[in-house]
Structure 1
């Protein structure tokens, strides 16, 4: 079954801070404090390795606001999103703006010379692997206080805030997160630049598959 709830928080970034060793609990997070009409939300971006030998994985890139429609035009606050294309929901493996090479999904592998040209015109977006601290250091330059921010994930059951701000599909059979697998419910952190584009931080765990079926389970 998918997450109990999924949506996006639109607001203004107040500040961020890392979990400290004596307060982080089981997993390590970069915590965002986001101001919205209901109050100040705490958003816990999970950049822990989940005990994986290769650590957490992430991508950082920039997108035009139009790629994220209709989310950029939503009023500040939390909004539920249906787990379906066109709703504004994110899916790392299916959303055309989040592909490994945007606009090239399903294209037959071209000859080497053409691949070199494509790399220059439309560079790929490979995952970077590293420790939780490496991932935190990759995210933090995007976290400029006062910037408009979009946080995708699951709202807290109690209090203002978000969690499951990471890929939410592809967890292996037998893991404690298997039941949360689903499509069009991935978490992400995006901040709006002065030019109107969005800086995007995607994060996943190396144990999560890069190919999933319609139920979000690995294939």
Structure 2
């Protein structure tokens, strides 16, 4: 069934953790005075499939899409699972280009050569430039009343995950399948400059039916 809390959080990056755990790169956002954690997968835990994540970054997005993002108020917004709005679908949107996605290791020796490097460079750039905004698409959780965030320790715990394709899954992850609910991390820099990050797992299929299940 589709992700019930699919949406986008728009906020300012104020913190990051490169090595909080093996599977994610963590970003802290302030959005309309509320703290959120963005958990971005850098490794897959799917059984019987490569752990390396498929990745694509682009600086070119449709003007109609970026204009709609800029018009959003800061904070969390739930999105309907349909075309014509801000919901992203890797296989049905016209700007993701899944065929151009390539596997990228999460963390290897050297500079600017792995997925954590890519995320860290983009995040630090956003943190250093006043007015930069982060748009995190995925499944929201929280607020977790009385419970601090696991990594950044703000209270209440609050955030967004599933920042990756959310269709084409098999096995235990098939319950998450649905169209128009794919995750992404998009950063806006001053001067109308953009970096958009799209993620998928090698266990996922790029051929799905109308319900998001693999064909």
Tell me which interval the TM-score lies in, with the shorter structure as reference length.
Answer: 0.7 to 0.9
Partner of 1:76: 74
Distance 1:176 1:35 in 2: 33
Q: Which has the greater radius of gyration?
A: 1
Partner of 2:121: 141
Distance 2:140 2:88 in 1: 15
Does structure 2 retain, via aligned residues, the 8 Å contact 1:34–1:41?
Answer: yes
Following superposition of structure 1 onto structure 2, how do residues 36-185 of structure 1 map, counting pairs within 5 Å? 36-51=31-46, 52-53=49-50, 55-64=52-61, 66-68=63-65, 69-100=67-98, 126-133=100-107, 134-143=114-123, 144=125, 145=127, 146=129, 147-157=132-142, 158=144, 159-172=157-170, 175-185=171-181
Number of equivalenced pairs? 188
For structure 2, list consecutive stretches of 5 or more residues without a partner in the other structure: 108-113, 145-156
Q: Alpha carbon RMSD of aligned pairs, Å? A: 1.8
Scaled by the length of structure 1, the TM-score of the pair is: 0.79
Distance 1:196 1:4 in 2: 32
Distance 2:74 2:63 in 1: 18
Scaled by the length of structure 2, the TM-score of the pair is: 0.81
The 3-state SS of whatever aligns with 1:179 is helix
Distance 2:193 2:64 in 1: 10
For structure 1, list consecutive stretches of 5 or more residues without a partner in the other structure: 101-124
Q: CA deviation at 1:141?
A: 1.8
Distance 1:66 1:160 in 2: 30
